[in-house]
Amino acid sequence: MRVEAIVVAAGSGSRMRSETKKPYIRLQGVPLLIHTLRALQTCDLIERFVVVTAGEDRTYAEELIRKHMYGSFQLVSGGAERQDSVRCGLAAISEDTDVLLVHDAARPFVNAEEVRNVIEAAWQTGAATLGTPVKDTIKEVENGTVVRTLPRHKLFAIQTPQAFHPSLLREAHHQALAEGVQVTDDASLIEWLGKPVAIIPGSYRNIKITTPEDLVIAEAFLQS
């Protein structure tokens, strides 16, 4: 089984309110992108990484990876939206790849077992994602008023990595582009195609670093 990974690092991270783009914010002196790549590399199933960056950051990201990492990496320029960036990454994936992993550069705390579990599930089913049961009560709101309360026992907070048979993900992206469909994660595209997506238990530690408050949590995780 050949496994490759797309790591999406093309976002600006506007909610971080920082002059430094989110993938390059440093935690204990090391860029967030490098922490994330190191976390993925703890799973020895991944043979090659395609890192998708903003076009203007590509050279800088390549220098960071050359300095801090080992293994097989390819840098490609992303698009305007996350979905566009994943599609750019798909174009660089080897034709003989059996399972393709897609992971956010802002999730540096995924562990090897989680990565392996989602890869193996996708190998068997075609598509899989990490997720955790939600802890809070979730309400649908319109115009500042609660419309309904969603059944918490059915709700999961979806994480990355997500894993797919490459042909399935390519089909989903191709059709979405043709029909102008935009989603916030790749598993949603598979759902839109009417295909099943397996849910694999994730960890509450696998946070997505989005706001300055998340940086405080990340520093605490690194010190623990």
**Whole-number pLDDT of residue 15:** 73
Instruction: Please write the tens of the pLDDT for every residue from 3-26.
Output: 999 999 997 767 777 789 999 999
Match 């238990």 to its residue by tokens: 201
Please report, in angstroms and rounded to a whole number, the separation of the first and last CA atoms in the chain.
35
Q: Which domains does the chain have, with CATH numbers?
A: 3-128+157-223 (3.90.550.10)
This prediction has a pTM of 0.96
Give the single-character DSSP code of 12.
Answer: -
Query: What is the three-class DSSP state of 119?
Result: helix
Contact 62, 86 (CB under 8 A): no
| Whole-number Å distance between alpha carbons of 195 and 189 | 9
Contacts of 77 (CB under 8 A, 6+ apart): 10, 52, 53, 54, 55, 58, 88
Average pLDDT over residues 121-150: 98
Instruction: Please write the tens of the pLDDT for every residue from 20-64.
Output: 999 999 999 999 999 999 999 999 999 999 999 999 999 999 999
**Whole-number pLDDT of residue 11:** 79
Give CA angle at 206 (204, 210), nearest 5°.
110
